[in-house]
Structure 1
Amino acid sequence: MTATMTKRVSYDIGCMKSLRKLPDRVALKFMDMMTRYMSDPSANGLNLETVEGSKDSSIKSLRVDQGYRAIAFEVGRDIMFVHVNEHDKAYRWAAGRRVKLDPETNRIRVIEEVDAVTEPVVIQAPAAPRLFERVPDARLRALGVPEEELPAVRNIPTIEAMEGAEDRFDPLTYQILYAVAAGYEDEEIKTLAGVGGERDAEAQTPVADLTFGQLIETEQSRQTIFIPDSEAELRRVFEEGLEGWRVFLHPEQRKIAYRDYNGAVLVRGGAGTGKTVVAMHRAKHLADQIQEDPTQAGRRVLLTTFTTSLAHDIDANLRTLCPAHLDARPPRIEVINLDRWVSQFLKRKSFAREVAFFGEARDRLDEVWRSVFDDHELPEGLSEPFVRAEWAKIVQAKGVADQRSYLKASRAGRGTPLDRKKRAVLWDIFADYRARLISEGLAEPDDAYREATEILNSEAPNLPYAAVIVDEAQDMGEQAFRLIRAIVPETPSGDRNSLFIVGDAHQRIYGRRASMSACGINVRGRSKQLRLNYRTTQEIRAWAVSVLEGVSVDDLDEGTDTLRGYVSLMRGAAPLLVGCKTEAEELEGLVAWLRGLPADRIRLSDIGVLCARKADVERVHGALRAAGIETVLLQSGADDRAVPGVRITTMHRAKGLEFFAVAIPFLSNTAFPPPGVLRAAVDAADREDIVIQYRSLLHVAATRAKQALRISWSGAATSLCDTALLNAAALG
């Protein structure tokens, strides 16, 4: 805010929701008024008028144009906008509202007093059953439902009626009611809604004594109230709508991100639960500490992930959340994918071998394997693909360095059994391959990770990192986590705030596995779980979860994980499931679906078409261009949503992205998983791993959708989601 500003302006989430229902010209005019006021408040005063007949003298109105009014609460130096609508509707909305300072939930709430509303919340016959008739008032009050809203709650007949009346309830009340209707236990509801629990230990003022100006700054109030720090931040939130709130945290998320830990932390959660947002805030929190502590000058937080594209996306979001930390010299936050970090580190250490991360170097690995197989006879019953898989999944993944270790190594998860004699023969092949790699000046990524780890452990170089944050941990292997532990090793004084790891094994799309404990990372007692999906509707979430039905998933350590309690509070249409006779018909249907999406509510850049193969991406691209639909092919780099066009990309590249609407074509049983991938399976166990990997990939792709999901195939649908299709049909 500028130094000359006399008023602090904030925005309740209800203001954003009401703006989304109005014509674009009204929203743009309101945004223009707000940003002009921020840039020069002395010249652009807000001319607020009293709302006649309101029970709350602090409620005011602001003229947006001839036909529209904004509603705000003015208390002291604070102005909080809560609603925008047509003139008469805005005044009717305001008539029964008042601000409630709620010490029990530690937040500001906008309450509707039912007796002041001329039209009933729900019209129903007196004898009709009601949704909450068996839930005592005492329980609802204890969970955080205000006394004033209980009469309206008692009139709700069905969950559908409650969804239709969402904007008539305080946002916290709505969350609580939805969770009660979904059957959650009270403690679970309090956790999901951020009610109860320990309050900030540093807060010296009793909550009951906080003023409006103080209470609006609490973590709980900031869940639904936005106070912009700059004109740029205000514009971003208005332009992105409700999605712009994704950098603001639910109290449970904030509790995880903004506290100190005496060791490594693991945060798990299903797709859309905000793991990456929590990781970003964790980076900001630690960078804030570095900035405030002169003894940490020059230190930084390393935020790393598996793929380059994800690193670009995170960097772009951090530049919205805390640009000063990235632009500082030296930067207080460094965002880079781990392969690139290793490559740069080894280059500084004059590592003599070329690391085959991709491209021509990967092709040279195939040539080395060819020469090895030409000189060795394989044990009976084993194939060349099996030997290469054994090398990658056992020798390299576990860091096996000699024959004795290989003879003793666990091969859990590998299908074809190997006796001692076969292992000995295989080790001769592996030793020869390793020697030829060195002779050729080549190294595999796991070799690079081990080399970097050995350098760090032996030299103890003075790296600038105060902490490492890992996003998408499920896609990293054991050697990667041994390296991460070496970048910020435990010290004699402890492991305070050094490692913060987020991931979800349900979204493992690259087949790598690692146990934190096996890599020297102790997260016992510091494992957290997020369960509330902020991205997708309940219908889309349920379909995506059903794709993984029957799949056993690990917890990124030495236990198992489930999606029990994973829920979305948003509702919407069931996924659209479309079977076609031919792929040409499928593409025609995709074009028609895209043209049928409401252009006044959905930008082209908020639509994604996700494919399993690059060849399918090209086919979709050609079909949409031929139909005159603007497109953007997403490959590497961040996605700039200011560039218009439907996004077309692979399911793998879509990881970390989200779209208002998503289409996933070509899910026939002859195309998904791709036949070539299945043919490459070395045995039944390997084939099952591939199938599970593609189930996870489809789960990830489906959960990129926020409001609309279209699934299509030609001929028979893929067997990977037969059950899912049936479940979705039942939802419909």
Structure 2
Amino acid sequence: MSERQHLADSRAALRRMREHTATLKAIGGDHVSTEHLKQALFRRMKALEDDPTVPLFFGRLDYDTALGAEHDERLYIGRRHVSSEAGGEPMVIDWRAPVSLPFYQARPGQPMQVRLRRRFGFQHGELTAYEDEELTQTAAEAASDILESEIERPRTGPMRDIVATIQPEQDTIVRTDLKRSVCVQGAPGTGKTAVGLHRAAFLLYAFRDQLARSGVLVVGPNDSFLSYIADVLPALGEIDATQATVVSLVTKATGTEIRALDVVPAALIKGDARMAQVIRRAVWDHIGSAGESLVVPRGSHQWRVGAYLIDEAVAAIRERGVRYDAGRAMLPQRLAHQVLLRMEAGGDSPDDRVQNAVARSRPVKAYADAIWPAVDGKKLIFRLLTDADYLAGCAEGILTPEEQQTIMIKKPGRSAGSAKWSLADVVLIDEANDVLNRTPSLGHVILDEAQDLSAMQLRAVGRRASTGSVTVLGDLAQATTPWATSSWQESLTHLGKADATIEELVAGFRVPGSVIEFAARLLPSIAPALTPPHSVRRSRGDLAIQQTASPLQAMLDATRRMLDEEGTIGVIVADDDVGRVRKVLEKAGIRYDLLGEDAQIFDSRVDLVPASLAKGLEFDHVVLLEPAAIVAGEADKVTGLRRLYVCLTRAVTSLAVVHADELPDQLMAA
């Protein structure tokens, strides 16, 4: 009863905190300060919103002075800090606070100053149970029914936070210092995406002032995935992180729409890191040599600067390693400085105002523009991909003649503005723009499903964290693009974070044992170097494999059976089978959402999932139709088997595999 009362009192205290915030007025010293304060108060109000279906706390720590603690105190651990009205005493401690660490890291015999750890069970926001663990005892750690129940709790929509179930190895990654970049190789169900999002929440808490200025960005593989994870950070009280895909990042930055699709050979070359060398050479080769002296008339005199001095000034600017446009802006001042030196030698006493006037003068500006001309990134890439002779000059010694011919745009249009650009093209434009002007850097970038990005796409993400850090998430066994990475060290190098720490998660908390073991039969063929994952759940889950002459009817029957169970259902099919499966579901009157098409996905209990969009998603129950068709839908067998591995590992509770064609040989193994 006392714990339920503490929950009620905590909710009342949170309500008072929000009401108090609502009474505050934003009055700054000027308009800008006032608007800044309004935004701060808005974010504070959002952070203090209470969801009655979500418990305010999920654990309790009893610190003991006999174990080295400063005070005997009882702390409740939850999603956000809640303090009492009288004296501001903490009623709930934020899970990210240092004093909350033992909730995740303490072990029997390693109590971290805590005598007792209590876990709470909840249903619809109401406290229903608790478990106590005496940490001073050295007995083996007992399994927690509440922890396992929370991990296996059916989903009712998009991804939710795992703050109550974070495991020690996950917590270590979450709390890594902001200065360090981390790469997480995570098998299906190990919680790598959740770890990345909780790391974002932790960093925004522990380094709030720094990241409030520099920002946090979450990059996902597609819009469906971003919709799936969109509620996690707000549920933890964090609304300052932004979300994007590589597509949205580069199209917004370049102002370029994607209207074309590359064939695989062209995309492979355009995505190769060597293209960065070609682009850099193409940009900097615009700089010419001084063919004649600069003559600047001023008053009754004409001041002359020799060509060799101008070439030296250009070389000095380039040696500084500045971006192309920054160097171009510096050149007129360098030329003006040379003019002033001659004016001083002639007996004048010019000052900075004279130098600025000379730098802005027509002769100096015209001379500088001729030597260091303006370059437009989009026009540059258009010329590279449409002018064979120009590409040959820029790519000599970098790309073979055959590779050059492969990436030429066949029907380019009349100008860069009318061209139909592919994603790989827009990434090249983004690279060119960065050679011209430095891309602004964020404080931290979370990059999920990173194994599927090309080298040039990785560079595009990496330059947005050039002065910050990254958390890279992925699974090499789930790499399904022709340009996918071959190793994490290679990917980190392209990101500019070669010194990042690589962590591996192999303990599956979401995918049940029967499912992960069945899917892992594919690993020797698709990723033999990886450690096979294992499930830590006591429940083995339900795995049903049915070969039938009527697979569509069997798929429909399995979906209906799953509708009698609690939780979400994903019907995963080869992309080419989406049309006929839609007709079957609609004829049967089953309401569903189609991922990749419906604006409001995850509203229905049933989601129809094209195999190409399954990555990163989880469903309580999965019906997988025709594994052989999913494999056949990819460019090669290994990629097809990796796609199948992704689809097989989306289930949290049960998986029904329905097929007429024979299963791949790897799955038929005893």
TM range (shorter): 0.5 to 0.7
Corresponding residue of 1:620: 581
Tell me whether 1:281 sits opposite 2:198 in the alignment: yes
Aligned partner of 1:548 in structure 2 is 523
Go from structure 1 to structure 2 and tell me whether the alpha carbon gap of 1:432 and 1:574 turns closer, same or farther (over 3 Å shift). Answer: closer
Task: Give the Å deviation of 1:343.
Answer: 1.1
The 5-angstrom pairing of residues 529-568 of structure 1 reads 529-552=504-527, 561-564=529-532, 566-568=534-536
Give yes or no for the alignment of 1:527 onto 2:502. Answer: yes
2:667 is aligned to: 724
Distance 2:464 2:245 in 1: 14
Which residue, out of 471, 475, 490, partners 1:504?
Answer: 475
Q: Residue 673 in 1 paired to residue 631 in 2?
A: yes
1:653-674 Cα deviation digits (max 9, x unpaired)? 2222211111111335xx3434
2:609 to 635, 644, 649: 649
> Which sections of structure 1, spanning at least 5 residues, go unmatched?
1-5, 10-32, 43-71, 81-99, 112-143, 150-168, 175-221, 227-236, 327-331, 348-353, 366-387, 411-422, 491-496, 554-560, 679-686, 728-732
Match of 1:398 in 2: 273
Corresponding residue number in structure 2 for 1:219 = none
Cα distance, 1:258 vs. partner?
A: 1.2
Q: Mapping of 1:57-456 within 5 angstroms?
A: 102-106=108-112, 108=116, 170-171=142-143, 246-248=162-164, 249-260=166-177, 262-291=179-208, 293=209, 297-322=212-237, 325-326=238-239, 332-347=240-255, 354-356=256-258, 361-362=259-260, 388-400=263-275, 401=278, 402-403=391-392, 423-424=400-401, 427-428=404-405, 430-431=407-408, 433=410, 440-456=418-434
Identity %: 19
Aligned twin of 1:569: 537
Query: Corresponding residue for 1:20?
Result: none
2:463 counterpart residue number: 486
Instruction: Give the drift of 1:511.
Output: 2.7
2:197 touches 2:233 (CA, 8 Å); kept in 1? yes
Which structure 2 residue ranges, 5 or more long, are not aligned?
Answer: 15-58, 63-72, 78-105, 120-134, 279-390
SS at match of 2:631: coil
Q: What is the CA deviation profile of residues 548-602 of structure 1, one whole-angstrom value per residue up to 9, with x for unaligned ones?
A: 332246xxxxxxx413454443432452111112xxx222222332333473x42
Task: Report what 1:199 is aligned to.
Answer: none
Native 8 Å contact 2:622 2:655 kept in 1: yes
Corresponding letter in the other structure for 2:566: I
CA distance in 2: counterparts of 1:579 and 1:563, whole angstroms: 30
Q: Distance in 2 between matches of 1:283 and 1:447?
A: 31
* Structure-2 residue corresponding to 1:663: 623
Determine if contact 1:544/1:703 at 8 Å carries over to the other structure. Answer: yes
Q: 1:521 to 1:36 in 2, by over 3 A?
A: same
1:202-249 Cα distance to aligned partner (Å, 9 max, x none)? xxxxxxxxxxxxxxxxxxxx97899xxxxxxxxxx99869x8662442
- Do the aligned partners of residues 574 and 485 (structure 1) sit closer, same or farther apart at CA in structure 2, a change above 3 Å counting? same
The one-letter code sitting in structure 1 at the alignment partner of 2:631 is: P
Q: What's the counterpart of residue 445 of structure 2?
A: 468
Per-residue CA distance 1:411-431 (angstroms, 9 max, x = gap): xxxxxxxxxxxx535635645
Q: Does the 8 A contact of 2:200 with 2:446 survive in 1? A: yes
SS in 2 for 1:271: coil
SS in 2 for 1:246: coil
In 1: Cα distance, 2:621 partner to 2:477 partner: 22
What's the Cα RMSD here? Answer: 4.2
Measured in 1, the distance between the counterparts of 2:536 and 2:563 equals: 24
Closer/same/farther in 2, CA of residues 726 and 105 from structure 1, 3 Å limit = farther
2:570–2:623 CA contact under 8 A, matched in 1: yes
Q: Which has the higher contact order (CA 8 A, sep 6+)?
A: 2
**Change beyond 3 A, Cα 1:105–1:712:** farther
Instruction: Provide the residue aligned with 2:554 in structure 1.
Output: 589
Contact 1:608–1:647 (8 Å) recurs in 2: yes
TM-score (normalizing by structure 2): 0.58
Give the TM-score taking structure 1 as reference length. Answer: 0.54
- Quote the Cα distance in structure 2 between the aligned partners of 1:651 and 1:696: 11
Task: Measure the CA separation in 1 of the matches of 2:409 and 2:61.
Answer: 77
The 1:597–1:499 alpha-carbon spacing in structure 2 relative to 1, beyond 3 Å, is closer
Rg larger in structure: 2
Contact 1:631–1:647 (CA<8 Å) still a contact in 2? yes
Q: Any idea what the Cα deviations from partners look like across 1:236-282, whole Å, max 9, x if unmatched? A: x99869x8662442121111121215443211111111111111012
Which amino acid in 2 is paired with 1:458? Answer: L
2:657 aligned partner: 711
Contact 2:544/2:657 (CA < 8 Å) preserved in 1?
Answer: yes
